[in-house]
Structure 1
Amino acid sequence: MNILVIGPSWVGDMMMSHSLYQTLKKQYPDCAIDVLAPNWCKPLLARMPEVRRALTMPIGHGAFNLTERFRIGKSLRNQYDMAIVLPNSLKSAFIPLFAKIAVRRGWKGESRYFFLNDLRSNKNDYPMMVQRYAALGYEKSAVPDAQNLPIPTPYLTVEKSAVEKTKEKFSAQLALAENRPAIGFCPGAEFGPAKRYPHYHYAKLAEMLIEKGYSVRLFGSAKDNEVCQQIRGGLPESLQAYCVDLSGQTELNQAVDLISDCVAMVTNDSGLMHIAAALKRPLVALYGPTSPQYTPPLSDKAVIIRLIEGGLIKIRKGADSAEGYHQSLIDIQPEMVMEKLAQLLN
């Protein structure tokens, strides 16, 4: 059986989709899985052994482009027995229909009755996103309930030689901290500043770690340059060499290698948090307005700190500080994070 998965467009969601691929391999042992997803996903999908091929989705997130969707669908005809659509949008269901794939499976959303013929309507019975993904790996009549649904843990394969090659590429940046074990910080968040742990708390935590003999690596995209510079600039000048700013410098594959080389991670609720969890790094995950009830880090080496109760608070910029940080994250003191880190490292 050949299965086409219409993949998600965000790093964290793509990591959680690995639970589906593992479930499919258990339910259909001889299946071959291809994933249609944005080009940036390929480094992650290449590290998931259950995936045969990553197919490039050339249409940007949010774009409709019906003509291009028809072209893609037509090019995929006579290749697949089943399609599984992970995004909830109507447009995401077009390509499997145009590809004339016999079984088109997904959750109910945006009037997709005609487009999906194996439609699941009980999404609310599965409160976690990863449960919703994994449930789509079962035949409709055989899906376990949420309490009994196995959730294979996402993971990424890592080759030691590739890690060493990546470290060599960044040897100039890492040189001053070469003999110190590294702890990674992921201070960025696409959601907005309300989702970020304050840069001054990160700076204080970095100072405490460096004084204990660690180095700190700052991970993120070019969008995170400013906050990473704020963290590094918040350190005493004599300690700044031990805080390596890698934001905007690494490709995703390289970031995965360098995160795998860290002895622990501290991160906001972000895509890189899910990568760190999949790499089985000891992890302290800091939550504020977003809720770990829906998208927690899927690792037994992860500790979550959240000081408020309840579900998702839909706010991108908080009114509690000039930077837009949310009070619930401001209240998480660096000493609290340090305590959890120490427990993990021990």
Structure 2
Amino acid sequence: MKNYNNILVINLMHIGDLMLATPVLRTLRANFPQANITLLGDKKLGDLVVHNQWLDECLLIDKKGADNRLMAFIKFIFKIRRKKYDLVINLHRNERASALAAFSGARTIVGYSKPIFSLFFTKVMQNPSVAHHIGRGPFHMFPPFKYVPGWKHQVHAHLEVLQKTVGVEKIDDGGLEMWIDQKDINRSEEIWRESFPSGTKVVAFNIGASWLTKRWLDSSFAQCADELLAKGYGVAFFGGPMDTEIVEKCISLMKYKNSELIKIFTGKLSLGELGAMLKKCALMLTTDSGPMHVGVSQNVPVVTMFGASPVPGFYPYDAKSVLIKAPEKCHPCGMHQCPWEGDRNLACMKNIPVATVMKYVWELLAKYEDMAGNVPREYGAYECRVVDVATGE
């Protein structure tokens, strides 16, 4: 294995994708303890990584704002070149990230890349966690199509990049990790005291998702919330500003919609505050989403429902957690919109019963609710339990 002294890791993707890259940082530190290790990420997601103890520096690009102009982007490339990295690892296969890696000036450039930029890479790898649609003419995005879902978890795919392109021999996989600034911890303490009576066991709800095909029914979430409230649990709704409307709709469907134990934090928290608040929760009930992976990083037991998402690629990276899926022939499709109509529309989510979900909610609460905020982390235990509603296991 070569020795590298100045390493840049690039991941410009979304919340969950950035969290799934954190085991790479720990493994790099274990193999290159004296190296300067930098992560390049999206500025709006900085809270997730700026305090990561395996990093020496974070570079943040405002990819939807100031740096989204050609001249600003070129200027950012020169900023990277001045850092004189000897190793660049790209973990985001899109044009922007591929270009930043390709023109970084590094001696060794490895990872995922778009074809044109791959000419500048030392070694390019396929990402086996993401879906592949095999085209059948111009309409291959609609059934019938040949679809190949991801077959390896994203964390394992990233670590394989280190093994096969950098020669890393020691894998130090500590799971998903996020360190939180003390000011965010203090703020979350204040919010929590103002929101819930002392001693309340709270279940976090994240009902939004980046794709419609990842969302469980609002009415189903509402039934789950009612069952929890009826037994004295608090219910905390999280998510970003884009989720405000669906949270309001969900609450409108609830029997106990006026309960003082319902609190809405949707669109009101920074990512640092989100992590600190989730850590206080006894359990998280969620779709496949970025906040799900933040919850995992804070060691919160998770119950999640997967529709379009490929299970092997993006399951919650924690053996405590439970993933529930329906046995639909088209699952997982990897599509943002369901092409079927009538009863088949979103059947993968409609056919996950509330009773099945609540069975595992109660099971995990019975085991972990008294350890909220202090659930022990088991090193290496990251493969979640997958439940098929047809068989129960």
Q: Is the pair's TM-score, using the shorter chain for normalization, greater than 0.5? A: yes
Say if 2:296 is the partner of 1:312.
Answer: no
Alignment gaps of 5+ in structure 1: none
Which blocks of at least 5 consecutive residues in structure 2 are unaligned? 130-150, 368-393
Partner SS, residue 207 of structure 1: helix
**1:25 paired to 2:26:** no
1:281 corresponds in structure 2 to: 300
Q: Which amino acid aligns with 2:221?
A: Y
Q: Report what 1:104 is aligned to.
A: 109
Once residues 311 and 106 of structure 1 are traced to their aligned partners in structure 2, the CA distance between those partners, rounded to angstroms, is 29
Q: Is the 8 A contact 1:195 1:326 kept in 2?
A: no
Determine the C-alpha separation between the residues in 2 that align with 1:139 and 1:288: 32
Q: After TM superposition, give the deviation of residue 264 of structure 1 in Å.
A: 0.4
Paired with 2:226 and 2:183, the residues of 1 have a C-alpha distance of 31
- Deviation by residue 1:3-50 (Cα, 9 ceiling, x = unmatched): 111213211110000011112112212222211111122111024211
Instruction: Return 257-266 or 95-104, whichever deviates more.
Output: 95-104
TM-score (norm: length of structure 1): 0.87
Who is 1:196 aligned against?
215
Relative to structure 1, is the Cα distance of residues 233 and 128 closer, same or farther in structure 2, using a 3 angstrom cutoff? Answer: same
Shift of 1:277: 1.1
Partner of 1:339: 359
Quote the residue 1:4 is aligned against. Answer: 8
SS in 2 for 1:314: coil
Maintained 8 Å contact 2:175/2:297: yes
Q: Which amino acid aligns with 2:265?
A: L
Distance 1:327 1:246 in 2: 29
Query: 2 CA distance for matches of 1:99 and 1:314?
Result: 32
What's 1:156 paired with? 178
Are 1:57 and 2:61 an aligned pair?
yes
**1:321–1:301: structure 2 CA closer, same or farther, 3 Å change rule?**
farther
Per-residue CA distance 1:276-323 (angstroms, 9 max, x = gap): 11111011011112121111111121111011267631332336789x
User: Is the CA contact 2:90–2:98 (under 8 Å) kept in the aligned structure 1?
Assistant: yes
Please state how far the C-alpha of 1:171 moved relative to its aligned partner: 4.9
| 1:163-200 CA-partner distances (Å, limit 9, x unpaired) | 3432314654x14x554211001000012x22111111
Give the corresponding residue for 2:161.
136
Question: C-alpha root-mean-square deviation of aligned residues, in Å?
Answer: 2.9
Moved over 6 A (4+): 319-322
Distance in 2 (CA, whole Å) between partners of 1:115 and 1:141 is 16
Name the counterpart of 2:141. Answer: none
Give yes or no for contact 2:241–2:268 (8 Å, CA) kept in 1.
yes
- Note closer, same or farther for the CA distance 1:92–1:138 as it changes in structure 2 (3 Å cut): same
Distance 1:325 1:219, change over 3 A: farther
- Partners of 1:11 and 1:271 within 8 A in 2: yes
Partner of 1:85: 90
Assess if the C-alpha contact under 8 Å between 2:15 and 2:45 holds in 1: yes
SS in 1 for 2:307: coil
How many equivalent residue pairs?
338
Deviation (angstroms), 1:96 = 3.6
Partner Cα separation in structure 2 for residue 238 and residue 64 of structure 1: 42
Q: Measure how far apart 1:222 and its partner are.
A: 1.0
Percent identity over the alignment is 20
The CA distance in 1 between the partners of 2:331 and 2:71, in whole Å, is 39
Aligned to 1:168: 190
* Structure 2 counterpart of 1:184: 204
| Residue aligning to 2:233 | 214
Residue 207 of structure 1 deviates from its aligned partner by: 0.6
Letter of the 1:136 counterpart: V
Tell me how far apart the structure 1 counterparts of residues 52 and 239 of structure 2 sit (CA, whole Å): 22
